[in-house]
Amino acid sequence: MPDRWGITLPFSGLPLREQRAVIERLPDLGYTDAWSAEADRTDAFTPLVLAAQWAPALRLGTAIVPAFTRGPALLAQSAATLANLAPGRFALGIGSSSDVIVEGWNGIPFTEPYARVRDTLRFLRAAFAGERVAEDWASFSIRGFRLGEVPEQVPPVLVAALRPGMLRLAGREGDGAIVNWLTADDVRAVAPHVREYGKPDAEIVARIFVLPDVEPDEARAIGRRLAAAYLNVPVYRAFHQWLGRTELGPMWKLWADGDRRGALEAIPDDVVDRLVLHGPAAAVREQVESYVNAGVTTPVLAPLGGGDPAATVEALAPR
């Protein structure tokens, strides 16, 4: 089995305040990592603060915090606080996010995303080192900020990346990359860009969407809706075009023409099956291992749908 086996927090179908019993069991079940996400549910940090207390053996990470939606100083403070709550057990994942989340939901212009992520990464390096930061970067300027409580152990900073530019930034200046919405075979196209800068052990964290023990028709219906919602966002469409996924061309055209139902139906079953892993839990675990064999160092399962979270994490636990 892989050295690391992660899960996404918080779980669906159960209020966060009631998830302690499930999270406490994760290390005993073989999980090594718990990674949060930040879109339209909880923020990225609060679930990890709770997990730091409820399951002190877990490594914790954000996958991801958007570089646009918090100011650089606030982001450094939030990350340093969690790093000091869980010394040596926290990794900060940042990324551009998307125009939908940044501009559509938060009212912040989504301009020059590469520059924003690069500059945030450089700022965080200086802030975590305890430096007084006063510098003009391409996407923002900082005037005399110094982190009041420097992390006892500086957390690694990983970059969410899709295409070569950001993947290379993740490998060159970050401590690795965070990827999602890709197949196990796609990892072989992504990993070399991260590791071309003399860092063969650079971490690659993959959020992998899973639907264990769900009937194929139901799983494909759920996966198809989710895939359509994501893969029509410009950054993800560009990613899959770069990967050469021409079979999605009809879906993109129908979506652009306003035919949402037709677009859903146009997504091939094979694409859904490889992007959203489903079937018996044992088969799902085997498919996750294929990502590791392709170059992922930290698989992070992201269960979809409702159901009992305790049963889901037990079914997906490494054997």
Partners of residue 211 on adjacent β-strands: 278
- The beta-strand segments (E) located in 155-241 are 157-160, 176-180, 203-212
181: region left, alpha or beta (phi > 0 left; psi from -120 to 50 alpha): left
Residue 2 pLDDT level (bands cut at 50, 70, 90): confident
Distance CA 247, CA 183 (A): 14
Residue 95 pLDDT level (bands cut at 50, 70, 90): very high
Residue 117 pLDDT level (bands cut at 50, 70, 90): very high
The pLDDT value recorded for residue 180 is 97
Closest CA to 82 of 65, 60, 56, 64: 60
Longest CA–CA separation in the chain, Å: 57
Residue 122 pLDDT level (bands cut at 50, 70, 90): very high
The pLDDT value recorded for residue 63 is 97
Q: Is the pLDDT of residue 159 over 80?
A: yes
As a whole-number percent, the residues of the chain with pLDDT over 90 amount to 96
In the chain, the amino acid numbered 77 is: Q
Average pLDDT in the 55-74 region? 98
Q: How many CB atoms lie within 10 A of CB 53?
A: 12
Strands 6-9 and 65-66 turn out to be unpaired
Q: From the DSSP assignment, how many helices (H) and strands (E) are in the chain? A: 14, 12
Average pLDDT in the 189-203 region? 90
Query: Burial of 73 by CB count in 10 Å (0-12 exposed, 13-18 middle, 19+ buried)?
Result: middle
Look-up of token digits 């939030």: 78
Residue 305 pLDDT level (bands cut at 50, 70, 90): confident
Q: Which two tokens stand for residue 177?
A: 């990359």
Distance CA 24, CA 227 (A): 32
Question: Among 44-48, 71-75, 301-305, which is the least confidently predicted range?
Answer: 301-305
The mean of the pLDDT values for the chain is 96
